[in-house]
Amino acid sequence: MTLGELIAQAREALTTAITARQQEQDALLALRSDPDLTEDAVSARVATRDAADAEVTRRQTVLDGLLGEQAREEEIAVLSARVTPTGNRSPAYDRVGRVGVEERTYRQDKDRRGAAFERDVASAFLGDYEARDRLSRHMQEERVERGAQLEERAVGTGAFTGLVVPQYLTDMYAPAAAAKRPFADAIRGHALPAEGMTVNLSRITTATSTALQASENTAVSETNIDDTLMTFSVQTNAGQQTLSRQSIERGAGVEPVVLDDLFRRYATTLDSTLLNQATNGLTNVATAVAYTDASPTAAELYPKVIQGLSEVEAALLDMATGDNLAVMHSRRWYWMQNAMGSTWPMISQPGIVQQTLGANYATVYGNGVRGVLPNGTPVIVDNNIGTTLGAGTEDEIYLVDRQECHLWEDSNAPMYIRAEQPAAASLGVLMVVYGYFAYTHARYAHARKIAGTGLIAPTFTGV
């Protein structure tokens, strides 16, 4: 196999590796948009993408080596043509291999403005390997003919601002940060029914009764059971973005980036609705446990947490599952961690080391339970909780039974629509993300929230 055939084979292998790597990157971006993704799934996909990266690097190294070998062979051929043999009798004419004058890759007499060179610079940036080969040959020609000048007058990239093309690391773009859906992911999820715009539940509001029989053969207690219909609206969460066709077709990864951001906004809006919506949001259905203090401390706050949890259980009675949650803003969670103390609970709790006031699991934001309080209650950190409540700088802490906070979602939500016709006249592409959901925290009126001046913007003083 000739050197040229090896180079062609190496180019084809590199192109295949680049295509495979791009497919892995697209799959990774799509996975990150999945609201049900796990850290293990992301890690596995990143590992696959990195393996594809390594394969591209390996193939490029092989091709570069072959091109370097080819350039060296051409350089040797040019040099050999200039050598004048001395001291030996010249061989017969027909036994001498001769190299004629080879035309330069770029010739001023044929292309005075250098348009071919400029096209190849741009094409090489976009991945044209033949353009890269021509540029490589040109540099070898320059080294052969003007090597000394190139070495003596070496310059940096600053001298070629129009030719040193900036590189955009599209796989490392920085998404706009979002609070997303820590609370929504922690509560009890259900499949949304396929039809209808309301969800109806029956709640028993008048129970039966029993009592001690007054005497033999006398009537026993009887109370007619009765229920009340609870109706929850199916709501639509949606967003859109119109992109120019040029940005999609001439850009690098524009569409997946915009889609990822729409998914982030979708998750944030859903979670914020569960917490803050008028009438039905958690802040509006929870019964307040007041914590009023001009100089709040974590040690003073904790008894309010215990009070709230006791009221949650009292409201649920035998329907309490004990699967409680404390939901708070990140600033409140870190404020509680900053507190120092010399006293400990009188009653030990499962999973809590003695002489500690809770535990921090050191998980990242939005990745489930962040830690536990001194009595073992898991903590969910959610920055969709308001920080301008009450007096204007307060946040709130919510205490709920996880199993009594219900969220109905379509298993395929959020949906994605890509429509080209509505904006075809202006070369636009419309992207729409939407989904349906319903929720309730009030099947039983159990939720509690700690609120008041004791939850003003925290200062980290170690108390």
Token couple for 278: 């008028």
Instruction: Give the pLDDT mean for 309-330.
Output: 97
Instruction: Give the pLDDT mean for 308-334.
Output: 97
Instruction: Give the pLDDT mean for 116-142.
Output: 76
Rounded to two decimals, what is the model's pTM?
A: 0.66
Report pLDDT for 188: 96
**pLDDT at 98 exceeding the cut of 70:** no
Report pLDDT for 377: 94
CATH of 182-455, one of 3.30.460.20, 1.10.10.10, 3.40.50.10490, 3.30.2400.10: 3.30.2400.10
pLDDT tens digits along 362-378: 899 999 999 999 888 99
Instruction: Give the pLDDT mean for 222-228.
Output: 95
Round to whole Å and give the CA distance between 202 and 9: 70
Parallel, antiparallel or unpaired: strands 378-381 and 324-328: parallel
**pLDDT at 114 exceeding the cut of 80:** no
**pLDDT at 154 exceeding the cut of 70:** no
pLDDT tens digits along 167-192: 667 778 888 999 999 999 999 999 99
Higher pLDDT, 61 or 342: 61
Mean per-residue pLDDT over the chain, rounded: 86
pLDDT tens digits along 1-32: 788 888 888 888 888 888 888 888 877 777 77
Q: How many angstroms from the chain centroid is the CA of residue 373? A: 28
- Banded model confidence at residue 160, pLDDT cuts 50, 70, 90: low
Render the burial of 185-205: b for 16+ CB within 10 Å, e for the rest: bbbebeebeeeeeebeeeeee
Round to whole Å and give the CA distance between 320 and 322: 6
The boundaries of every CATH 3.30.2400.10 domain in the chain are 182-455
C-beta separation of 382 from 412 below 8 A: no
**pLDDT at 235 exceeding the cut of 90:** yes
Report pLDDT for 205: 93
Lowest pLDDT segment from 125-129, 183-187, 455-459: 125-129
Select from 184, 185, 203, 233 the least CA-distant residue to 443. Answer: 203
**pLDDT at 85 exceeding the cut of 60:** no
pLDDT tens digits along 257-279: 999 999 999 999 999 999 999 99
Residue 18, SS3? helix
Report pLDDT for 150: 53
Lowest pLDDT segment from 218-222, 229-233, 418-422: 418-422
- Banded model confidence at residue 155, pLDDT cuts 50, 70, 90: low
Nearest 10 degrees: Cα torsion 85, 87, 93, 95: -80
pLDDT tens digits along 288-319: 999 999 999 999 999 999 999 999 999 999 99
**pLDDT at 96 exceeding the cut of 60:** no
Beta strands in 337-427 (DSSP E): 359-360, 371-372, 378-381, 397-401, 406-409, 415-419
Report pLDDT for 4: 80
Q: SS3 breakdown of the chain: % helix, strand, coil, rounded to 5? A: 45, 15, 40
